[in-house]
A = this chain, B = another copy of it.
């Protein structure tokens, strides 16, 4: 088990991501003190009931006092307000990081507020589920998943390795990337899939020729897969769409262009074109399983759980 890595960690935001981090810190003994902050009394109370930290305060400004590591885990659209609130209460030498799903926007929102005696290192753990809130978190969420840092120029190497060691203690593998490239990568591997899932579930919900109850009854033939992503937190995803607009619009344009090609192949009965696409996509799944990024069981192993 890793030793204590930080004397005092402040967690700003204690939903799915924040509370999973809290559970790992506790289980692994990575900090002496863990101060938890959430803007609502309800969430904060729940965090305390779950014993996720060592103290609980509503004000983020108060939570960060004397902290050696501050992790901001709130919807990306709230990043600037949080940065503004905590800025002057940060102690010199503190590492401030975040977990937001978009990076260029978070940097634009937070960096200008960070005093120069603070190590601000933007981060994004690529792990999660469709659930939210402090009850949704669990220990081990980040195990085997990637965590991407998008460090600013002149980032202190010692602070960077310390944060890296922290995420590795949680079981993550760490990568570094330029924030604009991060946002493009995430647009295709995460944002577009969620948007498409929301869209198809919306389309199905609005049909007149097929009823909603039919959609639900017969959903096991494929549709249900999309409803998982489309059950994700609306605030989080609204913010992602608003804060990674350019990359998302670029990927949407590519997707629509390809879909038009596919639609045309269906209209004109071009079986060869369909077969060609449907064959090469198989390999992508095979590679993902080989890379340890998905379970190998058919149907995501649902039949195992069904028993």
Contact = CB atoms under 8 A, between A and B. Distances in A.
B201 A281 contact: yes
Contacts of A298: 129-131, 136
A81 interface: no
Nearest to A286: B231
A271 B235 CA distance: 9
Contacts of A286: 231
A93 to B, nearest CB: 31
Contacts of A267: 245, 249
A229 B238 contact: no
Contacts of A262: 195, 198-199, 202
Interface residues of A, number: 114
A222 interface: yes
Contacts of A190: 218, 221-223
A221 B271 contact: no
A230 B287 contact: no
Number of copies: 2
Contacts of A226: 193, 196, 225
Interface string A31-62: 00000000000000000000000000000000
Given A200-B255, A235-B275, A219 B301 contact: no
Contact of A189 (B221, B241, B299): B221
17 contacts: A126-B218, A143-B306, A184-B210, A185-B214, A188-B204, A193-B222, A196-B226, A199-B262, A205-B284, A212-B287, A220-B293, A222-B229, A227-B281, A228-B285, A231-B281, A232-B278, A256-B263
Interface of A: 101, 126-131, 136, 138, 140-141, 143-146, 148, 175, 181, 184-186, 188-207, 209-210, 212, 214-232, 234-235, 237-238, 241-242, 245, 248-249, 251-252, 254-256, 258-259, 262-263, 265-267, 269, 271, 274-275, 277-282, 284-288, 291, 293-295, 297-307
